[in-house]
Structures are given as C-alpha cells and as structure tokens.
Amino acid sequence: MVRIRRAAEQDAENLNGGQVSQQALDLRRSLQIVRRHKILVGIVLALGLVAGGAYAALHPPTLTSTAEVLLPQSGQAATSGAQAAANGAADPYTVTQEVIAESNPVLLGALPNVRPAVSIIELRHEVQIGSLTPYILSISAEGKVAADTEATANAVARSYIHYVGSLSGPGGQVSAQLLQPATSATGPSPLKSIVIFALLGAIAGALIGTVIALAISRSDPRLRERDEIANSIGVPVLASFPVDHPSDAGGWTKLLEDYKPGALHELQLRRALQQLELTAVGVSAGSQNDRWSFTVLSLSSDPRALALGPQLAIFAASQGIPTALVVGPQQDARVTAALRTACAAPLTSSKRPGHLQVIVSDGEVEAQGNATLAVVVVVVDGRNPQVPDTMRTTATLLGVSSGAATADQLARAAVSAATSGREITGILVADPDSNDATTGRLPQLGRRGQRRMPTRMTGIATEIRR
C-alpha cells in the first residue's frame, strides 16, 4: 500500500510538472508569436494610444466648485441641533435648509446666471447640496469648464440666500449670508487625464494586438520553426542562414561576386558541406570517383529559398573546392529567369571565385567538367510539384524559408522528389526566424543500404576536403 501511494504521488508530481512545462512552453511560444507580429501589435498599440488621448481631449475631466453659505444661529435651532446630535441624528434645521436649497424655486431663480444655459433637470444633476457644520451649507456644482462651474455654484448660492431672505420663504425669513463664494474649481488636470487615458488606450491596444496576432498565427499553417519544418517530412535541418533576395540579373551577378557569410553562418555552411560530402562518400563507397553533388529543391511560391543553392556553391568555391553551379530545366522557367540570365552572361569581373563555374542548360546535364562538387538548382510548383529531368546528384536537399511553406507543400515536394528517384536527405532553411530556439535535429533512425542520413553536427568545425 505504501508503495502504491508513493507511486501515485510520483505520478501526480510528474503530471503537475508536465503541466507547468507545457504552460511555460505555451507562454514562450505566445511571446515568440507576439514578437513575430510586433509591427501589427505596435500599430494597434499606437491606435489605442491615439484613441485614448483623443477621448480624454474630447471628454475633459469633471471639475467641482463649492460655495459656502452661513446660516443664522437661533435659540430654537441650537436646541434642536443639540438634541439631534445627542441622539446621533442629523440636525433637522440644517436638513430643512438643504432641502430648500435644492428646491425648484431656488434652482429656477439661479437659471438665468448658470453657465452654460441648462434646464432645471440638468441643473439638479449638476448641483450637490451638503453641510460642513450645522450652520454652514455647501453648494457644489460640477462641469467641464472651471469658470462655468464657479458661476453655477455662486448662482445657486445667491438664489438660495435671496429666496430664504424673502418674507415668502418657508419657515419664515432667514438672513443667510454668502460665507465663501466659489472662486476655484478642483479636479484632475486635462493634461493628466490625457496621459492616463492614452496609457490605458495603449494597454488596451497592446492586448487587442496580441489577441489578433495569436489568432492570425493559429490560423496560419505555414511553418516557421526549424523543428516544425524538419518534423513535417521527417528530415533533419542541415543548416539555416540568411540569404540575399536578388530581384533581377544584376542582383544575382552581385551575389555571385560578393557573397561573404558571417562567422556563425560560415560555420553552419562548413558543417552542411561536410555532411553532404559524408553522404556522397556513403553512396559511392568503393568507387574511385571522388566527385560529389547535390540538388537544392525549392518551391516557386518561396522565392527567398532560391538563393540557398547559389550561396552554398559560392561558399564552397571560396573554400577552394572546384564547384559547378548548374541551372538546368525547370518546371516553370520564369522563376529562375533572372538567375539564368546572370549565369549565362559573359564574365566581365574577376570578383567571382576562381573555383566557381556556372552551367546553364535547357537539357539534362550529365557532366561536371573539372568540378569536384556540383550544386544543381531546381524549382518546382508548390501545389503540383514535378521534378524536371536534370542532372542526377548524390543527394537532394529541400530548401525552404521560414514562414513560407506549409507542411502539405513540403510533403508534396518530398513525394515528387522521391517519385523521380531523388529522396530528400536534408533541409536548408533560409532566413530563419530570429526567435526560433529550435535546431531541426532529428534522431538517426538507421541506415538504408549504404546511404547515411545527414545530421547536424554539434562538435567543432572541421576543414572541408580540398
């Protein structure tokens, strides 16, 4: 029984720990989504800020101004007041005067001097009658403008003094006096009110923007994280690095001549090339041919991924590896038209790496010339991918940029590649999400024949075989 109870307690602890971990993961993911849509959230926040400030400017805070009226102290009133105070009740004399002060005759007498002009019903809502002591009445008025509020409080106070001082006043004539006229209005300053409402509007805007960002992300099937991309087709991510986005032949020419990755991305490219070479060695085990090659397959709906193959080829050539960049037949020739134009143009600059040669062909390319490595660029339609007949390579990589493709599109491309005898052995991710903390690593599930599935290495960088 003791063992069973301990096991139950341990299961409960594990369950609670899993829930906490899941909550932390969901929170981290939500924060990543908000950062990813920071422009949207910022716009909604700014709109909330402006809306809050505008509301405060159009609806200024209510100000209060108070006039004080001194009542005469009669013997009868003093006696009744003392008895009421002893019993813990309100002074009946003061209560009577408060009722008179907010009666219709008093308010009607004050209307001509009230600013702005209002009805007697509105004036009744704006005026509050109270007592500071049994012989001092307070007549307060509320409004948006200080001068109008002061004028309204003084108008009601003077109307009351005039009314109770007449012979027709209820309870006889009372000689009340204006002890302190309303000379100032109190309340929050307009600037402070604008600041407060603007901040509240900004907070509300940030919350609304966050909800919108989360809703958009929930309905967006595109893959952004490396683990999501790798798990979609069960293939590891070999490297992820930013790419250039040439839009014309001139841009591609500049890329071929001036591409220089940063230190971190250079390390990733080195590791990717090493993995590809290991794959080539495994495929051609026992052969005397030391040449190796790979195809970078991308989608026409993902133009950013097109630069992955050329950048890998340029980097390999810069490391002293004789490399051929092959642009062969495409499913849609318009997608690679600018790249083909740049590669087919006569070489007019010496900036291009000396070990790099470019091959443009409309037919199937079989030879690499004197190149040790060949990088073949292939683009297929994301909805109906069909890999064209082009040069056969020792490995095929799927190139995709973060947030550009869905799992269904990647699966279609992988199936099309496998149908044409080009099984996807690795993934290259272009422009990875800066908030992505995943790696895209997958466990090695074993070997298939002599081919070794490439995995991302975590050790120190090694030099590429020249």
Distance separating alpha carbons of residues 132 and 71, to the nearest angstrom: 11
pLDDT (average), residues 170-174: 68
pLDDT (average), residues 14-24: 51
Q: Which is more confidently placed, 464 or 240?
A: 240
**CB atoms near residue 241 (< 10 Å):** 22
pLDDT (average), residues 170-182: 81
222: which strand partners?
Answer: 406
Least confident interval from 48-52, 107-111, 160-164, 166-170: 166-170
**Widest pairwise Cα distance in the chain:** 128
Interval 419-453: pLDDT, tens: 998 999 999 999 998 878 888 887 654 444 444 44
Q: What is the pLDDT, as a whole number, of residue 296? A: 93
Mean pLDDT of the chain: 81
Q: Which is more confidently placed, 1 or 346?
A: 346
Q: Which helix (H) or strand (E) holds 70?
A: strand 63-70
Split at pLDDT 50, 70, 90, the class of 10 is low
Distance separating alpha carbons of residues 384 and 378, to the nearest angstrom: 14
Split at pLDDT 50, 70, 90, the class of 462 is very low
pLDDT (average), residues 233-256: 90
Q: What is the pLDDT, as a whole number, of residue 455? A: 40
Q: What is the pLDDT, as a whole number, of residue 464? A: 37
What are the structure tokens assigned to 374, written together? 């060949």
Distance separating alpha carbons of residues 269 and 239, to the nearest angstrom: 7
Least confident interval from 24-28, 202-206, 247-251, 435-439: 24-28
Least confident interval from 71-75, 174-178, 357-361: 71-75
Least confident interval from 4-13, 252-261, 292-301, 386-395: 4-13
Interval 39-67: pLDDT, tens: 889 999 999 999 998 988 888 888 899 99
Split at pLDDT 50, 70, 90, the class of 141 is very high
**Whether the Cβ atoms of residue 305 and residue 430 lie closer than 8 Å to each other:** yes
Burial of 166 (0-12, 13-18, 19+ CB in 10 A): exposed
- Is the pLDDT at 80 greater than 50? The verdict is yes
What value, to the nearest 5°, has the Cα angle with vertex 88 and ends 86 and 92?
Answer: 90
Give the side-chain half-sphere CA count within 13 A for 373. Answer: 31
Q: What is the pLDDT, as a whole number, of residue 150? A: 92
Nearest to 279 by CA among 445, 418, 451: 451
Interval 286-301: pLDDT, tens: 444 578 889 999 999 9
Least confident interval from 62-71, 339-348, 361-370, 414-423: 361-370
Q: What is the pLDDT, as a whole number, of residue 236? A: 92
SS3 label, residue 337: helix
Provide, rounded to the nearest whole percent, the portion of the chain with pLDDT above 90. Answer: 33
**Whether the Cβ atoms of residue 105 and residue 161 lie closer than 8 Å to each other:** no
Q: What is the pLDDT, as a whole number, of residue 400? A: 95
